[in-house]
Structure 1
């Protein structure tokens, strides 16, 4: 089986951090979808073994060409983000297929990871193509134009999201996802938000996880909790203010900071609250005072 030598890469953290939903772990081997590609990967130390795809695809998909130590150094600015990095070092932002990522995050509205995963599997089973590798079978995400059946999706409990998937499909066929590539971030965000069912958080997830806009900072329930808890003294603030602060504080790779904070918060919220209660007033006082004064 072929392998790639990697540095600063953790396959488990990268696939299981919540940025991507189309994978299954079977006996410590991950079977992964990306549009029509279906491949498996597993990691032993610095060796990343793969089958069903070529090495260049694997490197690009997992962003193995990025200088992760440099990226981390740009946003590793306080003890909380440092702990997130220590626990989940090697997590990289995946370069997902834009259509698959769009469908995934439209389905994420008012949902959770198990349900999103199931909804994606249902859409793929209903409209996609069967694929197999080493006796493991699954279904690829249907291409734009292969769905067009809101009623059938609703019958399979996809609910109100069904109409948004159909609308997104029509706009994808018109080329909207191709036009986004290379646009300035705000223009790209405005354009993708013209797709029904895509508000700012979903737009930012798609732009970060498939187009590589590292200046995005998607704010969901978990990010809202940790940002207000750590950087706004527990006070409720608008998501816009959270994004503005995060962009100025964490810098050009704020999208990476978001993903480390997200997985840290999901898995260690009680620990974060414990640290805050004991040490909050003595940690990075300049940062918190600047937040309160509106200087960051």
Structure 2
């Protein structure tokens, strides 16, 4: 699919900037909806998101008179990288066309698209996405975020910003997590039994060929999903989370008890 607009980059006080069709990138809906756990909003309106070994800092610039939305951003380490922003927010997906198709197929679904307009599926790093969701089973978002933040700060590599200062930490590699004591992880993070699953899955990933998960991204959805479920500890929901949130496989629909209940009540 083609991009929704041609974006431009202009440096303003060190920040990159771009324009995007009005309402088609809603930062709060996109970052805080539970598809990723490494984000925070600052009091002055910036959103920080960590994926892999990089951090995005982005905010919308208020301009009610404009017929487009304007954003300014940084990517660390290094200079503002618009291509990285485009890939992360998946600007290749044309939301307006999807909204029209959903409304025609199902007015209820179309009404939800209008209510949460600008919510985008991001593209995370597959290894980090998988290991993060190992922390999410039967858990709730604030506790997941707290545990993952502790894991990153304690065992991850620093992400360097201006003046060579550490801004945050990357999520540690599978090989690092595989070497941890699950009882220590549980004690420090409150993950309880999930810590054992996290270390177990990390060990299996670490034993795979380098970039194995990236290679899965190039396979079709059914094959990638099946290979993920061959990992001891990874079930259908987590496999679908990785396929959707890290591999851009939009056929994937992660189903938990809430999604199943809504589907049953509405459509069955």
Same fold (TM over 0.5): yes
**1:66 aligns to 2:102 (yes or no):** no
Alignment correspondent of 2:109: 81
Contact 1:32 1:39 in 2 (8 A): yes
Counting helix residues as a fraction of each chain, which structure ranks higher? 1
Counterpart of 2:56 in 1: which secondary structure?
A: strand
Question: In 2, distance between residues paired with 1:217 and 1:154?
Answer: 29
Using structure 2 for the length normalisation, give the TM-score.
0.81
**1:21 aligns to 2:37 (yes or no):** yes
Using structure 1 for the length normalisation, give the TM-score.
0.73
Question: In 2, distance between residues paired with 1:32 and 1:125?
Answer: 15
Contact 2:100 2:110 in 1 (8 A): no
Q: Cα distance, 1:62 vs. partner?
A: 0.5
Q: Cα distance, 1:231 vs. partner?
A: 0.8
Alignment correspondent of 1:154: 186
**1:97 aligns to 2:129 (yes or no):** no
Q: Structure 2: where are the runs of 5+ without partners?
A: 1-14, 63-68
Question: In 1, distance between residues paired with 2:233 and 2:153?
Answer: 22
- Give the RMSD, CA atoms, in angstroms: 1.8
Alignment correspondent of 1:51: 74
**1:143 aligns to 2:170 (yes or no):** no
Alignment correspondent of 2:49: 32
Q: Cα distance, 1:167 vs. partner?
A: 2.5
Q: Cα distance, 1:160 vs. partner?
A: 1.5
Contact 1:14 1:92 in 2 (8 A): yes
Q: Cα distance, 1:130 vs. partner?
A: 2.9
Alignment correspondent of 1:199: 235
Matches within 5 A, 1:206-245: 206-232=242-268
Question: In 2, distance between residues paired with 1:11 and 1:171?
Answer: 34
Question: In 2, distance between residues paired with 1:210 and 1:61?
Answer: 9
Question: In 2, distance between residues paired with 1:165 and 1:231?
Answer: 35
Count of residue correspondences: 232
Matches within 5 A, 1:114-125: 114-125=142-153
Question: In 2, distance between residues paired with 1:112 and 1:151?
Answer: 21
